[in-house]
Amino acid sequence: MVGIVIVSHSRRIAEGVVELAREMGGADVALTAAGGTDEEDALGTDAMRVLGAIDEAFSDDGVLVLMDLGSAVMSAEMAVEMLEEARRARVLLCEAPLVEGAVAAATAAKLGRSLEEVAREARGGLMGKQTHLGVEAGAADQPVQAVEPADGPPIETSIVVQNPLGLHARPAARFVRAAGEHDARVEVSNADTGRGPVDATSLNALATLGVVQGHEILVRAWGPGAELAVKAVEALAADNFGDPLEEATAEPVPVARSGAELPEGGLAGLPASPGVALGPARRFASQPLEVPTESATDIENEIALLDKAVKAASVELGELRNAVSSSAGSYEAEIFDAHVLMLEDETLQGRARGLIRDDKRNAADAFWTSIRESAQEFESLDNARLRERGRDVIDVGQRVLRHLLGRAEQKLVMSAPGVLIVEELTPSTAAGLDPDKVQGIATTTGGPTSHGAIIARALGVPAVVGVGERLLDVVENTSVIVDGDNGIVIVDPSKELHERFAETVLQQAEVAMAATASAAEPASTRDGTIVEVAANIGSLEDAVRAVAAGADGVGLLRTEFLFLERTTMPTEDEQFAAYSAIAGALGDRPLTIRTLDVGADKPLPYLRQAPEENPFLGVRGIRLSLAERDLLTTQLRAIVRLAAERPVRVMFPMIATLEELKEARRLLNDAVGGEQPSGLEVGIMIEVPSAALIAERLARDVDFFSIGTNDLSQYTLAAERGNAAVAALADPLHPGVLKLISTTVKAASGHDAWVGICGEVAGDPRATELLLGLGVTELSMAAPSIPGVKAAVRTTDGAEAAGIASRALQAGSASAVRKMLESGSTP
């Protein structure tokens, strides 16, 4: 694969271009930065620095060097002259634009193109701008076209969209990924409305087709990967585009608007999240953003400001995704994956850059104009559900605009509990909700299918939306009732209404308190088997949430949070402090610490790793730790220090061979330095089929196994979970995976070891009885799933569960197992 070197007078610019090129399509490409000089923050270039970067990026396929101006070119030439002759012939200095060229080159390099083809793609990086500005590109600037529709007829397919919500943001995001994973040009049209064709790799363009349930779409693809691209989309459609079948298929109709009489002081809205809330009104109004209209004086600076603001907003969206995933669930968190795709959409950004260059608009004015035009395209659609996506575009746009204007994000902070009165519940606002303070929500606009409403439902906060402008007349601290079941808001209720709804609220609170109290209690089956229901966590904050949710302990501490997003490896003292803080939050609950599980798919910035064609089958997990002993030995010393103070479980990831386990244990013994602490248990993850198949031998050297069903499923079924075309195959309830779990349990039972599961299936109450029937005694999951799984454990009878497990092992497919669990019948 061709390597790429970025040479700039500014170290930050070079590193920023590398980061952008990686994120825009070159994640597996050897991209290196050679910016600035040895003097910190000094502008300039250094031939020796460029030489080192070329060495780092070098491969037999060659290295492309992109430079900004002046001495950068001369330093690059000097560095090439210092190379040995054989290498010098494989290095090409390219005059392409730095940013656009780097992105185009990285994309081409990832596809395995030759050095000359990568250079030509880089030179064609300005094509988008040239087309927008009406500038004719010279022949030398034309990029290599991976696909030419004129070469022949397309591969095409017609799909009737069956999922209830149509191609709303999350399935549309999955569609874009599936279409863009192959070497093909893919277009899609809506056969029912006549809209299209549009680029299938543009999220915003796809959404403007207005595809709803029952619409037929025509997908056409050209190029070497055309057939694979079409099959990927077909597989995604067969999987309901990743949407659960049980989602609502119709807009709810509020009781008051269907003819029922409103109570005194009542306002009709739409039920968005069930439940009843009563409390004082808490007004929240976002401050309007005034967009400057002055003309731009420095075009390149305005574009740089826009790029910086987009990047900052993208980072914030990633943080929001993580927060919502912890508090509400991974499905709800996908909302922010769609937001990132909206933000990165080249149509949206290209339109803004064109306005800056063509109309001399400032960055804020240009981007906001582009955002409003995109939102209007959504709002022109007939489907109310898709019109809500226009609000998401505005939400994303305002995030970028705040960065451009230097305005801090306005956080939703409530000093005292109450009912939130807000004009619109955006996903950004909803992500910041504190359910302990926000008792209910009422909005003037929006619908029950908005992403803000989805998050409110996941958090369990009663909400009514679309109440209308009269809601804005509600004065702060006025008593308000939110009836999320019927879509009614009652302002300043009468004494009788207040008492009646207060009784309902009290009953809800009692039920919630009982559920919370029950979740904190040990979970045992009807025949008395105690099952440890633990949490998967990745931070101290997660540990606190897990305890509050009733976790019996931590079944998986992902220690990667200590190693990622920093420039140096954490010290032993830093790690010990972090583990001690988490242990303190857990009290006497068990803590299972997984050693570092990273690799080329999750690279460490301070650890040099060669790019891998398939990082999931490469140097990751225990393989990387054994190759980089300092990483593992430092971590083990920190864990052993903690084990001297309290019981701790250490767990090694991605064990595939007995030799790996023995070497990991040897390093652990070295860290102990004497007699092993009595409270230290040693276990391994069962994620690789070979480990399950030799579990009987591995069990002699461990105290426990923890089965990572996410990876075990993808390795067993040869289906990468991140590949939309095959992800549906990686089902942990496939009989093949279940047999590996059963094999592991039987092997452990013969050596007095116990078995847990820490994959996502552990948090699915529908699978609890089956997993317990297979002999699993510990289940570890995201904290929000704990109460439901504990309830499922308490309704399970061991003998009945064993019978279900026996029948599931004889099933022919994952779907047959799932049908059996739903119906209780034999597959």
- Residues with a catalytic annotation lie at 451, 758
Going by C-alpha positions, the residue among 92, 41, 85 that lies closest to residue 66 is: 92
Whole-angstrom distance, CA of residue 741 vs CA of residue 777? 12
* Distance separating alpha carbons of residues 186 and 415, to the nearest angstrom: 51
Rounded distance, CA 476 to CA 459, Å?
24
CA dist list (Å): 573 to 157, 569, 583, 587, 625: 58, 12, 15, 21, 19
What Å distances lie between residue 282 and 480, 493, 694, 716, 821, CA to CA? Answer: 10, 16, 60, 52, 45
Nearest 10 degrees: Cα torsion 566, 572, 577, 578: 50
**CB of 191 closer than 8 Å to CB of 201:** no
Residue of 272, 373, 789 whose CA lies nearest to 546? 789
Distance CA 686, CA 743 (A): 11
Nearest alpha carbon to residue 171 among 246, 240, 270? 240
The C-alpha atoms of residue 624 and residue 319 are separated, in whole angstroms, by: 27
In the numeric block, the tokens 């992902």 are attached to 558
**Number of Cβ within a 10 Å radius of residue 718:** 9
How far is residue 735's CA from residue 817's CA, in Å, rounded to a whole number? 8
d(CA 763, CA 348): 38
Distance CA 268, CA 693 (A): 61
Q: For residue 128, count other CB atoms closer than 10 A to its CB.
A: 17
Beta strands in 505-601 (DSSP E): 523-524, 530-537, 554-558, 591-594
688/715 Cα distance (integer angstroms): 7
Calpha distance 827→819 (Å, rounded): 7
**Which residues lie below 8 Å from residue 411, measured CB to CB, with a gap of 6+?**
432
Alpha-carbon span 515 to 631, nearest angstrom: 42
Element (H, E) at 318: helix 299-327
11-23 and 299-327 helices, crossing angle to 10°: 50
Cα distances (angstroms) measured from residue 384 to each of 112, 156, 387, 448 = 43, 29, 5, 10
Tell me whether strands 31-35 and 530-537 are parallel, antiparallel or unpaired.
Answer: unpaired
Q: Where are the alpha helices (DSSP H) in 382-494?
A: 384-405, 427-431, 451-459
Give the 3-state secondary structure of 441-467: EEECCCCCCCHHHHHHHHHCCCEEECC
Q: How far apart are CA 498 and CA 9, in angstroms?
A: 68
Closest CA to 307 of 253, 339, 337, 343: 343
Closest CA to 161 of 234, 228, 231, 222: 234
> Phi, psi (5° rounding) for residue 358?
-80, -45
Tell me how many degrees the CA angle 273-319-378 measures, rounded to the nearest 5: 55
Q: Tell me phi and psi for residue 414, to 5 degrees.
A: -115, 120
The total of other beta-carbon atoms located within 10 Å of residue 738's CB is 22
